[in-house]
Amino acid sequence: MTTTLTQTEDIGGPAQPLLIVKNLLKHFPLKAPFFSRAATAVQAVDDISFDVMKNETLGIVGESGCGKSTTARLLMQLLQQDRGELIFDGQTVGSAQLPMKSFRRQVQMVFQDSYSSLNPRMTILDTIAFAPIVHGMSPGQAEREALQLLENVGLDPQRFAGRYPHELSGGQRQRVNIARAIALKPRLIILDEAVSALDKSVEAQVLNLLSDLKKKYNLTFVFISHDLSVIEYLCDRVLVMYLGKVVELGTTRQVLNTPSHPYTQALLASVPTTDPDRRTEKAPLAGDPPNPIEPPSGCRFHPRCSQMIPQCKSNMPLLLTHRPGHQVACIRVNDRIGQSVSTAQQASADMSI
Amino acid sequence: MTDYSLNRNADLLLVQAHRSTGYWSGVMLNLRRNKVAMFAACLLLLLLLMAILAPWIMPADPYKSSIIHRLKPIGTENYLLGTDELGRDMLSRLILGARLSLFMGITPVIIAFAIGGTIGVIAGYAGGRINAVIMRLTDVLYAFPSVLLAIALSGTLGAGTGNALLSLTVVFIPQIIRVAESVTTQMRTQEFVDAARTSGASPVRIVFSQVLNNVLGPIFVFSTSLISVSMILASGLSFLGLGVKPPEPEWGLMLNTLRTAIYTQPVIAALPGLMIFITSISFNVFSDGLRQAMDIKE
Amino acid sequence: MSTQAITSMHEPDSAHPATGEQADNAISVTDLTVAFERAGKTIRAVNGVSFHVAKGETLVLIGESGSGKSVTLRALMRLHPERQTRQSGSIQINRQEVLQMDRRQLRALRGKKIAMVFQEPLLALDPVYTVGQQMIECIRTHHQISTQQARARAIEALEAVRIPSPERRLAAYPHEMSGGMRQRAMIALALSAQPEVLLADEPTTALDATVQIQVLILMRELQKQLGLAIVFVTHDIGAATEMADRVAVMYGGRIVEEGSIREILQDARHPYTLALLKSRRHGMERGKPLDVIRGSPPDLANLPPGCPFAARCEHVLARCTTSVPQTTKISQSHQVQCHLAVA
């Protein structure tokens, strides 16, 4: 049994994306009611591709039904994708080069519900020490390191190590979850709405903690949230999802200051005003985010899009680069940059290297 | 960041100390506050002691019959609780009967807990097809009313203590499987199980270290509530002549043989039933108290 | 067309537009305290809260968990269980004293004079009855009309909240509707008996951003048409900015600052208000650590003497831990409870 876990090596170098997501697809089949024709499926994630660069914080935004939670679980391989692959630091996940257990050492997750993500019958110390023990650390060493981790996340080990989750507040529990996530010294942490359930003042503390830990442990974050101000504060790049597809991807400044996709524009315009004299008069989008069971044909956003043209109903937009580092999946932008289908295929091949 | 090398062992000791005031001691504390449950627990302890110490505390020979002293009422000299239809001392028979009755009540449940609990947890955690197969097979057994099933099995296997035990165990296994599966399924969807999966642990490890400590409690409480049922069913089987064979004292069997005395000595005829009643209620109250104590989270 | 139908059912008192000091306030709360007895401890959730809301005006109660804002709201309708709650002070809804009402009077008050919208419609709506059944029941409880007529009013109410195909929605169960539609249905239900006051407890917190703005705009429009007085509880300054005429900031069961939305946003005086504003887009700068309010929310079972915020305040003085600050008026509509403001 090894006594301590070392940080996994950087294999591909700084230019290599830490995680390449390639054509990920996950549909959840629904049982057909007895007398109907065919079984339908919830098309939760439908052919998405993007990169996560080393040491960046990539934000994923979207509303209910967009597939961001499913994406998080796919990235973490808590769910198996139906199609597509994940390439971690140049190695395919699940292959002989990178078996699942090694992958799990390098990628960890922090969940939204701080309470249900902790075992109610295990002490905080045991919860944090669990993963290292699984990976071969001796229990005594694991507990010692867990105490250190508790201190690193700002919880006094003497007071907290022997406690149970129900004795902690939401913010404290989330710190425990973070400590648990870094216990294996991973390289990538996926945060699925990790601060959404916290009060704003507690959220600020946790965000500061995350920033500190990122620097200290040389981490990469994928940060899923619906809160655009937190995304703007924390993230280097942003990915916008709608109904299982990526509609826009670029740096935070590009996406939030100069959004190119009509959905992103509507999303940003839906943020409440900061000026009480200039209140929002008209909602940018009508209706609710639709259900991904039977998505519209062509561009999935076309029924609600204010800038729709006839092709939007029939053609599927491709996620293409229209400015350096900034990609959009919109027919009108596709047309504007004058790329034909064959050039578009070339562009998407370039993207996934 | 402070250096932990010197303090770590001291901290660990502190942590161990804190851990001892952990979950189960919390449950015990809550239980102790429940006066009714504690009373039931004391009763059960007394009954258990009575059963264990039976040969030493019996006033008379429970097998010695005496035609002259048939159906003597309560308070007769030498026979404190009267005699049964064969002139045997009721008090001694009731005391010794506790052994068999408690044994028939507890043993099937323990075995069913072990077997059913395992199968149920496996079904619950595995999900999918394995779950479907196990649960549907369980449903087949579960479809039979427990009393009928016990009688049918006993009748097929023949009378006798061992066969009665077997049929009772078979009756309870599906019920425990159901509860175990249901609780485990609930646990499996909890995010902490996902979190455990992200650590790379194998499913077996996750079940043993994370799931079991959560599901064992509810399954155990459900099982203790079955003890009273088991006692009553065992008594019923004996009553029907399918369980314990005479002259062994067992409360249900005693009820059977004293049937005809109900017109002449109704109190004596009811005494074994009273013992069954007291024991069943005590088990029920205790298991309910245990359930309440485990529910409480501050 | 449909909103006109609701307007015609309701006779708003347009002769008295909203200004704070008028005598005919729709809601007038004076020195309200609410304490809960739980497991031998007394939880002081609300400690001397006073405010008023005029017809057609929206007051936003803003604060974090444990500030007492939701407890205050529920006290306005006396929703807290009577046995474990101790309430004192005065709550006047259209000059009727709520804390003195008997059960018959309370039944006449709830729904008809004052209605409430909750954060999670799935929890607030009865899952085993259709939306239509719930609305018709509500309408007929307060108006002596037939089921047909009540159904017609229910359809009009659903149209007023912009639910498409209202006839079909009447037959829908709450779980069959999408989140935004459920919230609209709840608003329609709340308004179906034509109350004068609407209480809203974080109604948009659980909604997506694009739906939230729709519901906020809808509530504003309905308020204009029906002359409602609205008390809106939230922790989100953005929602407050969209909705509020006036804002009351709550902490530890007290109102620490109160003023018009502009005054609060541009001229906040209380350290807590300033900290709240900084924790939002108004104060988040990339790359720099966020300003954090040190410490944690107060334990309502063991409230310290003095200002509830003293333990976490950067500018704390000796006075702050011993005496509760008096209310200082900064302008006619802006007041703050802080020792620093007196100087």
Complex ipTM: 0.85
3-state SS record for chain B: CCCCCCCHHHHHHHHHHHHHCCHHHHHHHHHHHCHHHHHHHHHHHHHHHHHHCHHHHCCCCCCCCCCCCCCCCCCECCECCCECCCCCEHHHHHHHHHHHHHHHHHHHHHHHHHHHHHHHHHHHHHCHHHHHHHHHHHHHHHCCCHHHHHHHHHHHHCCCHHHHHHHHHHHHHHHHHHHHHHHHHHHHCCHHHHHHHHCCCCHHHHHHHHHHHHHHHHHHHHHHHHHHHHHHHHHHHHHCCCCCCCCCCCHHHHHHHCHHHHCCCHHHHHHHHHHHHHHHHHHHHHHHHHHHHHHCCC
| C295: nearest Cα among C316, C326, C268, C319 | C316
Query: Is A322 an interface residue toward B (CB < 8 Å)?
Result: no
Q: Supply the pLDDT for residue B238.
A: 82
Asked if C292 and A208 come within 8 Å (Cβ–Cβ), the reply is yes
CB contact under 8 A, C244 and A276: yes
Q: Is residue A53 part of a domain?
A: yes
Query: How far apart, in Å, do the first and last CA atoms of chain B sit?
Result: 33
The predicted structure's pLDDT at residue A199: 83
Measured between alpha carbons, how far is residue A222 from residues A28, A72, B101 in Å? 24, 9, 63
Cβ contacts of C211 on chain A, cutoff 8 Å: 63, 288-289
Q: What pLDDT band is residue C69 in, cutting at 50, 70 and 90?
A: very high
Query: Do C280 and A200 count as a contact with CB atoms less than 8 A apart?
Result: yes
Q: How far separated are the first and last CA of chain C, in Å rounded?
A: 56
The DSSP line for C256-306 is EEEEEHHHHHHS--SHHHHHHHHTSTTT--TTSPPP---S----TTSPPSS
A167 burial (CB, 10 Å; 0-12 / 13-18 / 19+) is middle
For the cut 70, the answer to whether the pLDDT of residue C27 exceeds it is yes
Count the helices and strands in chain A (H runs, E runs): 13, 12
Residue C114: DSSP 8-state? E
Q: Which residues contact B169 (CB under 8 A, 6 or more apart)?
A: B107, B108, B111, B112, B115
Note whether B23 contacts A: Cβ–Cβ < 8 A.
Answer: yes
- Cβ of A169 within 8 Å of Cβ of C235? The answer is no
| Span A88-120, pLDDT tens digits | 999 999 888 899 989 999 999 999 888 889 998
pLDDT value for C222:
92
Check pLDDT > 90 for residue A286: no
Maximum average pLDDT range among A33-42, A66-75, A200-209: A66-75
Strand-pair partners of C110? C114
In a domain, A289, yes or no: no
DSSP A199: -
Interchain contact C178–A (C-beta under 8 A): yes
Domain tally, chain A: 1
Token readout for B114 is 């072990």
Q: What are the extents of the domains in chain C?
A: 15-113+197-211+220-297
Q: What are phi and psi of B189, to 5 degrees?
A: -85, -5
pLDDT at B298 over 70: no
- Predicted local confidence at residue C249, as pLDDT: 95
C176-228 tens-digit pLDDT: 888 888 999 999 999 988 899 999 999 998 888 999 999 999 999 999 999 99
Whether the Cβ atoms of residue C115 and residue C199 lie closer than 8 Å to each other? yes
The C-alpha atoms of residue C45 and residue C75 are separated, in whole angstroms, by 11
pLDDT tens, C112-126? 899 999 998 888 889
Query: Residue written as tokens 């607030």?
Result: C124
Residue A339 in this model has a pLDDT that exceeds 60? no
Q: Hey, which residues 48-67 in chain A have their CB within 8 Å of chain C? A: 63-64
Looking at residue A210, its amino acid is L
Higher pLDDT, C13 or A4: A4
Query: Residue A140 sits in which domain range?
Result: 19-31+39-240
B12 contacts in chain A (CB < 8 Å): 140, 143-144, 147
CATH of the domain at A208: 3.40.50.300
Please answer yes or no on whether B198 and A163 come within 8 Å at the CB atom: no
Give the C-alpha distances (Å, rounded to integers) separating A250 from A5, A17, A192, A261, A262. 35, 15, 20, 11, 15
Beta-carbon contacts of residue C265 (< 8 Å; ≥ 6 apart): A274, A276, C237, C241, C277
How far apart, in Å, are the Cα atoms of C15 and each of C3, C55, C197?
A: 20, 10, 17
What is the identity of the amino acid at B79?
Y
Q: What is the CATH number of domain C15-113+197-211+220-297?
A: 3.40.50.300
Backbone dihedral region of A218: left (phi > 0), alpha (psi from -120 to 50 degrees) or beta?
A: left
Question: Which of A25-29, A107-111, B3-7, B264-268 has the lowest average pLDDT?
Answer: B3-7
Domains present along chain B, CATH in parentheses: 27-57+92-295 (1.10.3720.10)
Q: Which of A114, A175, A200 to probe by mutation at the C interface, max C CB count within 10 Å? A: A200
How far apart, in Å, are the Cα atoms of C315 and each of A257, C338, C340? Answer: 36, 11, 8
Is C216 close to A272, i.e. CB distance below 8 A?
Answer: yes
Euclidean distance between CA atoms B57 and B95, whole angstroms: 8
> Which chains pack against A, by 3+ Cβ pairs within 8 A?
B, C
pTM: 0.82
Could you say which of A201, A266, A291 has the minimum Cβ distance to residue C210?
Answer: A266
Nearest CA in chain B to A108: B198
Residues of chain C contacting residue A280, judged by C-beta atoms under 8 Å apart: 213, 216-217, 242
A257: contact with C, CB 8 A cutoff: no
Inside any domain, residue A335: no
Q: Do the Cβ atoms of B4 and A148 come within 8 Å?
A: yes
Residue B144, both tokens:
């039979």
B24 touches chain A (CB under 8 A): no
A118/B192 CB distance under 8 A: yes
Closest chain C residue by Cα to residue A279: C242
Give the pLDDT confidence score for residue B35 in this predicted structure: 86
User: Is the peptide bond between A317 and the residue preceding it cis, with omega within 30 degrees of 0?
Assistant: no
A179 touches chain B (CB under 8 A): no
Cβ B257 vs Cβ B268: under 8 Å: no
Q: What pLDDT does C21 receive?
A: 45
Task: For residue A211, name the pLDDT band (cuts at 50, 70, 90).
Answer: very high
